[in-house]
Every structure is written in C-alpha cells, then in structure tokens.
C-alpha cells in the first residue's frame, strides 16, 4: 500500500512539474502502449468549467483562470483561485486530450488507466460520469472518448461521492459535448 501511495505521489509530482514548465517541445520517445481513438478537436479546460461556473460550484467569486499546458502529455490546465485573498478555495480542471498529444504520445486513455491502477484501493468508482470515472486524492477523474478530465478543489473531503465534485463533473461533461 505504501509503495502505491509513493508511486501516486511521484506521478502527481512529475505531472505537476511538467505542467509548470509550460513546455511545448515534442516528446521524441516512442511508446508501445496503445492509444485510444484520437479525439479530433483540441479543447481548452475553461470551456469545460467557466469562471462563472467555478464560482457557482465553490460558492464564492474566483479570479480569471490561470492556464498552463504540457504538450508532451497532451494536458491543458485551468486553475481558478479565489477572488478574495483571504479565501483558500480553488478549483482546477486538467484536461488531457489525444488531439493535443504529440504523435508518439501514449494517449489519454492509457494515462487515465495507469493513474487509476496506481491509486489502488484508495479510490471510489463513480458510475454515472463519462465512459469511466473515479474519485481519489487528486480529485474527480473522468475518461470520456479521448478526453481525460481531472477536477480538483480545495473543498474535496473524504466523502467519496462529494456532491460538489459530482456536479462539477456533470457540468464539465455537458460542456464537453457542446464544445466538440
């Protein structure tokens, strides 16, 4: 169990550091992992949850979303911090998508499945969202047809069916369908 948690922490740090680099260089490494069917349209995460929707979900105003991207893993992130500096509530949406991934990328479905595998028993499956979904320490993870969405918030509690996360997931999927 400890090794799984350590692996999850290392993966999360690697993805976070990669996202912070905002590096658009292509990854020259090839992968034998299978890729999912390529989604055709590159989407921005703020199209899945807008500033006003983030404020509504958190119950407090938020600032404009701060954006980052890591092309090597096909990921775009939008971080909504509180408009009020005395608040610590935030909402982040990370969108990994096949259409934004370099040709040698492993695919959003592979990243989703590996993340799910690494969370081991510390996750709870969510049946009604996307092709598959689960809640773990990093938030709500949803896979839907070439798009891997992770919604994280300061309001995540140990409740494995956190109503705010479920609402955010439903809103993100609704907006995904509109944006495609």
How do the domains of the chain map onto residue ranges?
2-23+37-179
Give CA separation, 44 vs 62, 96, 121, in Å: 18, 10, 31
| Confidence label for 154 from pLDDT (cuts 50, 70 and 90) | confident
Higher pLDDT, 8 or 141: 141
Q: What is the pLDDT of residues 67-123, one digit of tens each?
A: 999 999 999 999 999 998 888 889 999 999 999 999 988 999 999 999 999 998 889
Question: What is the number of other CB atoms lying within 10 angstroms of the CB of residue 6?
Answer: 11
| Confidence label for 160 from pLDDT (cuts 50, 70 and 90) | low
What CATH number should be reported for the domain whose range is 2-23+37-179? 3.40.1000
* Cβ 103 vs Cβ 27: under 8 Å: no
* Cβ 180 vs Cβ 41: under 8 Å: yes
């Amino acid at each position: 169990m400890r090794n799984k948690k350590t692996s999850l922490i290392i993966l999360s740090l690697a993805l976070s550091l990669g996202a912070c680099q905002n590096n658009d260089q292509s990854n020259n490494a090839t992968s034998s992992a299978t890729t999912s069917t390529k989604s055709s349209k590159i989407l921005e995460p703020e199209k899945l949850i807008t500033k006003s929707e983030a404020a509504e979900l958190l119950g407090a105003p938020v600032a404009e979303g701060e954006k980052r991207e890591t092309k090597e893993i096909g990921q775009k992130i939008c971080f909504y911090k509180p408009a009020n500096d005395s608040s610590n509530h935030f909402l982040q949406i990370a969108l990994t998508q096949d259409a934004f991934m370099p040709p040698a990328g492993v695919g959003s479905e592979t990243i989703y499945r590996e993340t799910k595998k690494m969370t081991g028993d510390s996750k709870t499956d969510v049946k009604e969202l996307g092709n598959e979904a689960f809640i773990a320490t990093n938030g709500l993870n949803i896979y839907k047809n070439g798009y891997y969405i992770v919604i994280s918030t300061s309001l995540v509690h140990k409740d494995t069916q956190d109503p705010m996360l479920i609402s955010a997931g439903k809103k993100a999927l609704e907006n995904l369908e509109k944006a495609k």
